[in-house]
């Protein structure tokens, strides 16, 4: 069985990884239910990877219905230690244009309906998330996207709304006034519950956000593969 320290969760438009040499597909049961899809284990550029499609292999699961805890727990059971989430987003800044990649450094959570923790039913734990992302992996993401020829922004605050609607103009203007750079809603990606579920068991979770737009989703395919190749070359050296 392939043992992968790195897990990749694909969002809208990324239901499988081009260039991934599939060795095994595992159906994993968890105490929190079934994950969104079977987990694909294989090698990407020679490096072991576990891949999970957040919305299912056919994008049949809405953001509100994603079982974030089951997804994270299933990866944990397979030995994954670091999770990289690839997501689409909207931009609140003119200089963060469609097709650009943002590696956010801060989060604002405006979701309200999704579970965020494994600690319940008499188990209480308080975890600081003041600096939510691993700086080593974030820097590797930035360098990898840049090496693949993409335009990357190494920081920015990301805010997610509950959805399924998008923000009103007044809401967007308010968020922009707060200094928010990128935003996600239903149909984009509500991955905050995914982040907090991963963070609480002591994992390192990072995300690469692709500013959305029709051209961005089409043009980002080659960039994604090249960026992952560079990232997987860099990560083993940085994490050793």
Residue 17 has pLDDT above 50, yes or no: yes
Residue 230: φ, ψ to 5°: -65, -40
In Å, what is the CA distance from 117 to each residue of 181, 201, 223?
A: 26, 9, 33
Residue 1 has pLDDT above 60, yes or no: no
Task: Give me the helices (H) in 178-213, please.
Answer: 192-199
What are the sequence ranges of the domains in the chain?
6-120+130-239
Measured CA to CA, the distance from residue 133 to residue 35 in angstroms comes to 23
Measured CA to CA, the distance from residue 160 to residue 145 in angstroms comes to 23
Q: What does the pLDDT look like over 78-133, one tens digit per residue?
A: 988 888 887 778 888 989 988 888 999 988 888 777 676 777 778 777 777 788 78
Residue 93: φ, ψ to 5°: -130, 135
Structure confidence at residue 113 (pLDDT): 72
**DSSP three-state, residue 91:** strand
Structure confidence at residue 26 (pLDDT): 92
Contacts of 181 (CB under 8 A, 6+ apart): 91, 92, 93, 96, 102, 104, 153, 156, 157, 158
Structure confidence at residue 188 (pLDDT): 32
Structure confidence at residue 214 (pLDDT): 31
Give me the CATH code for the 6-120+130-239 domain, please: 3.40.50.1580
Structure confidence at residue 13 (pLDDT): 54
**DSSP three-state, residue 17:** coil
Mean pLDDT of the chain: 76
Q: What does the pLDDT look like over 186-231, one tens digit per residue?
A: 333 334 445 555 555 455 556 667 676 332 333 444 455 566 566 6
Which of 30-39, 44-53, 132-141, 189-198 has the weakest average pLDDT? 189-198
Number of Cβ within 10 Å of residue 132's Cβ equals 19
């Amino acid at each position: 069985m392939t043992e992968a320290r790195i897990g990749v969760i694909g969002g809208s438009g990324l239901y499988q990884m081009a260039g991934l040499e599939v060795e095994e597909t595992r159906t994993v049961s968890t105490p929190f239910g079934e994950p969104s899809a079977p987990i694909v284990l294989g090698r990407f550029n020679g490096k072991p990877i576990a891949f999970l499609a957040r919305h299912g292999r056919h994008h049949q699961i809405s953001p509100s219905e994603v079982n974030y805890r089951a997804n994270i727990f299933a990866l944990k059971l397979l030995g994954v230690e670091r999770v990289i989430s690839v997501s689409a987003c909207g931009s609140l800044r003119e200089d963060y244009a469609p097709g650009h990649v943002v590696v956010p450094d801060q989060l604002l959570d405006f979701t309200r309906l999704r579970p965020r923790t494994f600690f319940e039913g008499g188990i209480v734990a308080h975890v600081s998330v003041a600096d939510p992302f691993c700086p080593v992996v974030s820097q590797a993401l930035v360098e990898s996207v840049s090496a693949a020829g993409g335009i990357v922004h190494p920081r920015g605050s990301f805010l997610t709304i509950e959805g399924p609607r998008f923000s009103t103009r007044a809401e967007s203007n308010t968020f922009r006034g707060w200094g928010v750079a990128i935003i996600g809603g239903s149909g984009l990606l509500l991955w905050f519950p995914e982040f907090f579920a991963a963070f609480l068991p002591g994992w390192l979770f990072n995300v690469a956000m692709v500013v959305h737009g029709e051209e961005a989703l089409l043009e980002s395919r080659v960039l994604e593969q090249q960026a992952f190749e560079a990232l997987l070359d860099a990560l083993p050296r940085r994490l050793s």
